[in-house]
Amino acid sequence: MRTWEQNKTAINQLWPQCQWTDEERRLWSDDLSSVDQDVLFDAARNVKRNNDTLYPQLKWFREEYRSLKRLKDARNPSRPSSEPRPARVDIAAELDERTKADLMLVVDDATVESHREVITLIADKAADLQIRMHTAYRLVSYLLQRLGLDNGGRIWS
């Protein structure tokens, strides 16, 4: 199990030229020290792979961490199988349609560069119970297809 100290060292080694101010250090520590450090380590390595720049952005770490954490949680549900399933949540059709219409404006303006932020926005709306899961899935599918990023439902091509 990794620690925040180990991850700070890794981040500093991945971006050795970066000179952090005291306030930047506090901001990064406030946002990242309390998260799952094993997931954060993987997120940092992915950020480096995808954004080979002299200076990292905290936003990149938060987005990549959130994405990896969702994947990890989906693979390893914390609820034991013997525990009863939670009650079904029903989102009103009119709220679903209204949120879908708002998100379609964002989806239609999305670019390849901004598609991750749009997917995160859609996922956040689903998590906040403002849109039904199948509607969110259809929006993401449409976005990826529109941008030519879909691969026929395959994870690996």
Collapsing DSSP to helix, strand or coil, 134 comes out as helix
- Note down pLDDT in tens along the chain; length 157 residues: 999 999 999 999 999 999 989 999 999 999 999 999 999 999 999 999 998 888 999 999 999 999 999 888 887 766 555 556 666 667 888 888 999 999 999 999 999 999 999 999 999 888 888 898 889 999 999 999 899 887 655 544 4
Q: Is 54 left (phi over 0), alpha (psi -120 to 50) or beta?
A: alpha
Instruction: Tell me the one-letter amino acid at 76.
Output: N
pLDDT at 157: 42
pLDDT at 78: 62
Q: For residues 54 and 87, is the Cβ–Cβ distance under 8 A? A: no
CA separation for the pair 56, 14 (Å, rounded): 9
Instruction: Tell me the one-letter amino acid at 126.
Output: A
CA separation for the pair 153, 157 (Å, rounded): 10
Q: Which long-range contacts (CB under 8 A, 24 or more apart) does 76-83 make?
A: none
